[in-house]
Structure 1
Amino acid sequence: MKCPPVDLRRAEVRWADYVDQPAAAEELAGSSLLHTDWNDTNVLISDRARLVDWGWATRGAPWLDPALWVIWLIASGHSPSAAEQWAGKVATWSSGSPESVTRFASANARFWASEGERTQDAWTLRLVNASASWAAHRRSLEI
């Protein structure tokens, strides 16, 4: 597997094409090492949890990994509220402002929508729907 270019390993670059405003991408910047690929085959649980497959390791804001976990939890059947409650158990979750999290949820829904146009497999469509559900939930909190 070929590694992505170095710039793609910075969160503000990876999601820049999907944010509403260019300045919103800067909210994703940070120096934390992020896994970013929280699918069920990348978290191995035995006597402890292990993260494997770091092919999309990214540097960015520390709240991004719990945010990305939210989408997988929704795709696995949790409501957006319940998924965020689980994310809240991760200390770094609270380091993202509610507005930044909402902007990221919308950006991630755009990312998955574009993936869904390219790939129509069940796995991708689950994430298209989960990310859209989360983005709608976040927008509803602003009302």
Structure 2
Amino acid sequence: MRLIVASGQILGGVLQEYHVADLPGLQEPEACPLIASGHTPASAEGWAARTLAWAAAPGPGITAFAAASHRLWTEISTSDPDPWTTRLEAAARVWDEYRTRA
């Protein structure tokens, strides 16, 4: 299980920064809400790249985080299927697929 905790940073009035406990030191804005709002994965990552931690993160770490986000939102949307969780799961899937192809 991955522990994700909001650290409180807001970018552009939209992004919240999260920390994934099993990727120590990697903190980045969650791309899924931006993708769910219509951003492409590349655009969402462009916003995320404005944080130092994201900019310094290795590509495989970001890819692992995208995969973890996909698994997390799949689990959440399965146990609590409402429009919001379903939309976030779809966005996480798009991001995961984008990172896998990258």
2:54 to 58, 71, 93: 93
Partner of 1:65: 28
Q: Percent identical across equivalent pairs?
A: 29
Deviations 1:29-58 (A, max 9, x none): xxxxx52688xxxx6x8xxx6x9xxxx987
Partner of 2:86: 125
Q: Does the alignment pair 1:138 with 2:99?
A: yes
| Distance in structure 2 (CA, Å) of the matches to 1:13 and 1:132 | 17
| Distance in structure 2 (CA, Å) of the matches to 1:115 and 1:61 | 23
Letter in 2 for 1:64: Q
| Distance in structure 1 (CA, Å) of the matches to 2:47 and 2:95 | 14
Q: Structure 1 unaligned runs (5+)?
A: 1-11, 16-33
| Distance in structure 1 (CA, Å) of the matches to 2:67 and 2:20 | 19
TM-score after normalising by structure 2: 0.76
Aligned length: 98
**What is the DSSP-based 3-state SS (H/G/I as helix, E as strand, rest coil) of the residue aligned with 1:65?**
strand
Larger Rg: 1
**What is the DSSP-based 3-state SS (H/G/I as helix, E as strand, rest coil) of the residue aligned with 1:78?**
coil
TM-score after normalising by structure 1: 0.57
Q: Structure 2 unaligned runs (5+)?
A: none
1:81 to 26, 42, 46: 42
RMSD (CA atoms): 3.2
Greater than 6 Å deviation, 4+ residue runs: 56-60
Q: Does the alignment pair 1:35 with 2:36?
A: no
